[in-house]
Chains A and B, each alone.
Chain A
Amino acid sequence: MPGHAIEIADLAFHWPGHAVPCLDIPHVCVEARERLFLHGPSGSGKSTLLNLIGGVLRPERGRLRVLGHDLPALAPHARDRWRADHLGFIFQQFNLLPWMSALDNVTLPCTFSPRRAAEATRNAPLDGEAGRLLTRLGLPESHWRQPARRLSVGQQQRVAAARALLGRPELIVADEPTSALDAELQQAFIDLLLQETAASGSALVFVSHDRRLAAHFDRCIGMTEINRAAAHGG
């Protein structure tokens, strides 16, 4: 396992048809198991950066190593495969397939990643591991087999977190996962997420526009600090 979860140097990206670059990042490094809080206003390139880290977009130039893999060098289908194996995503809301049960949503990554399926079933059957994560994240068992759309937003985010954690991916990327939650639920969710990523040994990149949430993270950086395009372009 290499020492860095994410290594960015001299990275540039701009959307086709746009004159100004969207990202121009001289240098960023995230250590393995590090919990990073990344903040920035909307339009500062957060989503684009996450798409690059997820291997969905490809940078124009620069160095982008995630978990030791040189992403730009991989073919698109290999990046999809890599993402399935090593990354867990949590989005702002509507994370789940609403017509699937909570439990099925949690085990969904195994559909696309045999590696995570193998990891998740090392000690217990798949549903057992999914249930263990749901229990740790505080979703009562009576809700496990309900369709995801019947759950409250807070419950849905817990299911999403359990899904991201299933099979211990090395990197969890959370994109404003608490912005749809009530204030009192936000901190509780973040504490749970920090605790569980630590337990599974994953690194965490937590993106939010709200700096007040940064308290318990190892490090806090702003998009405007690392992205020259955002700093100049406003």
Chain B
Amino acid sequence: MRTRAILRIARLSAFSRRSTLVLTLAAIALATALLIGVERIRHDTRQSFVQSVSGVDLVVGPRTGAVQLMLYAVFRTGSATHTLRWSSYRALADHPAVAWAVPLSLGDSYRGFPVLGTTPDYFAHYRYGDKRSLTLRAGRTFERPFEAVVGSEIAKRLGQTIDSRLLLSHGAGNDLLPEHGDKPFTVVGVLAPTGTPVDRTVHVSLESITALHLDWAGGAPLPGVTIPPELATKFDLTPQEITAVLVGLKQRSDAFRMQRFVNAFRDEALMAVLPGVALDELWDTLDIFERALRGISVLVVLVSLAGLVATLLAGLNERRRELAILRSLGASPLDLFLLLACEGLLITAAGAAAGLLLVTGAAWWLHDALRGAFGVELSTLLPSPDEAWLLATILSTGLLASAIPAFRAWRMALADGLTPRQ
């Protein structure tokens, strides 16, 4: 009863000073949004990465960093600097422990979206999320050269539907790169959304990739040589080089044995990574940045709470009269301590709630953009347990910080009695 009354007085009193308190509240809201936002992006990025690779036992590529191999083979970011020979792929695919091996050839792009050369096996064996396989929303998979299957994001963003034509660029990139203008592709299939980099990928056959580059050498068209598409298909289009291989094993327990086999491969320098291990390595790399970001956000929260303390302390002198009135009505110094503590907590809670709202709104707003640009699926739902814990920490820190002005009010109540000395 009494605590409720004190809470009510705190609420009304704070509301009467809203013009000064609103800035403090906004600072707390922004700081909370930053802290929660950083946490949410961290969590959702990891989630997106973990979702993107499931059911693959090994990723094999030319010898490079494990993280780098994962980044370009699975997440389609970064670029491959080396290639591996087709003969090495054959040796791998024919190994008795291997159930399936899907070759990947990267390096071209369509309006900034990566182009993946692969075999129809890719659609059969690739798994994402909780071991879910890819499904076509429309059309079929590619069967002949110059046919393409696009991810849902591309279809949505660029309006690519069945039978539209795509002109690919050489390299991972922008409009300045030379286009494979002479050999247009036809969209024959659109994949259902997955929330993984697949949504942002143009899938074509390995033969298409070879055909595209028949009249190319060293990353540029051969001057004076053009091979039209209808002629290109007459060549032997078996690729000579690919970028990486996704491997599924008959028994997962063979993973380490197989890894040793690949790492010791005689014909060329190869490496095999276990996706889980490589992801852990990636988290370790990101950890420093995440910690730095988190540290900064925590500091910003502390600064905003310091602002709260300063505002409450500054207002206290003008409120001596108010405190003396409450005192004459029978409020104890402890009541006045509680009054100030409640006020600080109320402002912190309102600020934190506003911050949470802000970050949820921002996530909702940026959801499509982030998915399109990075393949990161932001969760727009309620706060996760981790975030709830962060919010609780902000609230308790706010309460702790409010103890400073509250203590001051308590001291004032004892010193002033019924007649404040102005």
Contacts and interface: CB of A to CB of B under 8 A. Distances in A.
A97 B418 CA distance: 15
A65 B15 CA distance: 41
Contact of B330 (A51, A85, A97, A175): A85
B284 to A, nearest CB: 55
A176 to B, nearest CB: 11
Interface in A73-112: 76-77, 80-81, 83-85, 87, 89, 91, 94-100, 108-109, 111-112
Given A54-B418, A57-B417, A94-B321, A89 B13 contact: no
A56 B330 contact: no
Given A89-B329, A111-B2, A112-B329, 12 more contacts: A47-B418, A76-B333, A80-B331, A80-B332, A89-B418, A91-B328, A99-B13, A99-B16, A112-B2, A112-B5, A112-B335, A113-B330
A11 interface: no
Interface of A: 47, 50-51, 54, 56-57, 76-77, 80-81, 83-85, 87, 89, 91, 94-100, 108-109, 111-114, 175
Given A56-B327, A85-B330, A111-B2, A100 B12 contact: yes
A233 B16 CA distance: 44
Contact of B329 (A100, A108, A114): A108
A108 B13 CA distance: 14
B322 interface: yes
In order of increasing CB-CB distance, the 8 nearest A-B pairs are A84-B330, A99-B16, A112-B330, A56-B417, A89-B328, A111-B5, A80-B332, A51-B417
Interface residues of B, number: 25
B330 A109 contact: yes
B2 A50 contact: no
B418 A50 contact: yes
B16 A80 contact: no
B334 interface: yes
Nearest to B8: A111
B330 A83 contact: yes
A154 B111 CA distance: 77
Contacts of A95: 325
Nearest to B334: A77
